[in-house]
Amino acid sequence: MDFQSEVLQKVKRDLNPHEGACGICHLTLKTISEVGGKVFSYEVPDGSVSKILDHNGENIGEGIDLVWAPSILAAQLDAGLIPASISRNLKKLLTNAQDRQKVAEMFGYGRCVTPAGKAISILWQEGGRVEIGREELGIYALLYNAEGRLISEAVTGFCPICAVNISVAQNKKLRQRIKKELEGRPNTGRQKYDQGLINRVEWKKRRVFTYIQQGEKIIGMNWGCCIAYATVRAEIAAGFGSRKWNLLFKHYCDFCPLKHCWTRKTMGALGNVVLDRMQNVGIKERLKKDEYLTAILCRDDNKIGEGIGTLCSLSATVNAFLKSDAVEILRPSPATGFPYKENNDQ
């Protein structure tokens, strides 16, 4: 069996649509790594480009999107490593060139948390709000002003933060304001681009590892619960970022309860499952930005839970779920498919 066929067969066997585009991407990454392939990603002005090599080192797929993970998904789709029955829907969720350019206008080079965090802070400070949720395999983000009027909306295939970036970028006034407020801010993605650095990403030992390479030399390596967390931790190991960001990141991982009950599923896969369930039971999630991204879970306008995350608000979703009253979200439904005995003769 050739490389693509083997990966495709294993992904098809284990794929779970409830885990969303992010979960599917990480499942495929895991399978690529197990079959002997390699995944590379590098920053460019309008996002991130990714490439997939098979077990012989042949380039079999390339993709571009806002940041590492969705660009890896785009490369996986290009390589034909995801079943056709679901890849058609995933392709619809990839960020188009026009939206990538608008997002890049705010900050660029694959950096999504900074502009999204700035936009969320502005909206909250001015009395507005940001809501996120599942839509088929993707995530939507709704931006409301202080009067409760919807001012922008987007659906993207990945993290809610990507969706927030696209929503903000589609509102010209807000996009230009974010661009102005971020002028002159250090951009690690641009620094890596200028130095010609490449990120090699793989799955092993139940988690994601990222190696930052300058040519063949590894200048930073670390691991995490998903592609984004592993890559930023590797950037810190390579000397990028501020001490404040380093400490905030470490403190988040210190307080994350999920590490004590790790399920071999990435944070994004779990977050998508939780969002999917919340939608089914009428719970909404709102995002705010203090020191950390914060997910606020609401039934109607009543808060039932709150949790923090850093890079991806799906981590905040899982954190909020673990710290909230589980009955509010789980609310068991009647069992389906259970065998039923028609009479009581025996």
CATH number, position 315? 3.30.160
Q: Which domain holds residue 285?
A: 260-330
In the listed set 215, 242, 269, which residue is the last one of a domain according to the structure? 242
Residue 219: inside a domain, yes or no?
A: yes
Same domain, 15 and 80: yes
Same domain, 66 and 193: yes
Per-residue pLDDT, 37: 98
Same domain, 83 and 193: yes
Q: How far is CA 265 from the centre of its chain?
A: 13
Q: Are 288 and 128 in contact (CB under 8 A)?
A: no
Same domain, 8 and 29: yes
**CA–CA separation, 8 and 25 (whole Å):** 12
Same domain, 13 and 154: no
Residue 250: inside a domain, yes or no?
A: no
Same domain, 284 and 163: no
Domain total for the chain?
3
Helices (H), the chain: 3-14, 20-35, 68-78, 84-91, 97-106, 113-125, 160-170, 172-182, 188-195, 227-237, 243-255, 267-280, 313-323, 326-330
Same domain, 158 and 191: no
Helices (H), 126-266: 160-170, 172-182, 188-195, 227-237, 243-255
Query: What is the pLDDT of the chain when averaged over all its residues?
Result: 92
Under DSSP, is residue 64 helix (H, G, I), strand (E, B) or coil?
strand
First to last CA, the chain: 52
Q: Which of 98-107, 109-118, 242-251 has the lowest mean pLDDT?
A: 242-251
Helix (H) / strand (E) containing 152:
strand 150-156
In the listed set 133, 157, 182, which residue is the last one of a domain according to the structure? 182
**CA–CA separation, 274 and 321 (whole Å):** 7
Q: Is 72 exposed, middle or buried (0-12, 13-18, 19+ CB in 10 A)?
A: buried
Same domain, 84 and 9: yes
Q: Is 191 exposed, middle or buried (0-12, 13-18, 19+ CB in 10 A)?
A: middle
Residue type at position 192:
K
Is the torsion defined by CA of 251, 202, 136, 166 positive or negative? positive
Same domain, 59 and 14: yes
Residue 282: inside a domain, yes or no?
A: yes
Q: Mean pLDDT over residues 13-38, rounded?
A: 96
**CA–CA separation, 287 and 318 (whole Å):** 13
Same domain, 82 and 200: yes
Taking only the tens place, the pLDDT of each residue in 182-214 is 999 999 999 999 999 999 999 998 899 999 999
Same domain, 175 and 320: no
Taking only the tens place, the pLDDT of each residue in 114-171 is 999 999 999 999 999 999 999 999 999 999 999 999 999 888 767 898 999 999 999 9
Residue 98: inside a domain, yes or no?
A: no
What are the C-alpha distances in Å from 344 to residues 336, 338, 339, 341?
Answer: 21, 17, 14, 7
What is the band of 345 on the pLDDT scale with cuts at 50, 70, 90?
A: low
Is the torsion defined by CA of 279, 95, 162, 169 positive or negative? negative
Q: Which two three-digit tokens encode residue 133?
A: 């949720």
pTM of the model: 0.93
Per-residue pLDDT, 240: 95
In the listed set 196, 216, 242, which residue is the last one of a domain according to the structure? 242
Q: Which two three-digit tokens encode residue 71?
A: 């660009």
Residue 276: inside a domain, yes or no?
A: yes
Q: Is 107 exposed, middle or buried (0-12, 13-18, 19+ CB in 10 A)?
A: buried
Q: List the one residue out of 104, 73, 108 whose CA is nearest residue 89.
A: 73
Residue 69: inside a domain, yes or no?
A: yes
What is the band of 75 on the pLDDT scale with cuts at 50, 70, 90?
A: very high
What is the band of 248 on the pLDDT scale with cuts at 50, 70, 90?
A: confident
What are the C-alpha distances in Å from 111 to residues 45, 152, 167, 237, 341?
Answer: 10, 21, 15, 18, 57
Q: What percent of the chain has pLDDT over 90?
A: 73
Residue 338: inside a domain, yes or no?
A: no
Same domain, 7 and 39: yes
Residue 342: inside a domain, yes or no?
A: no
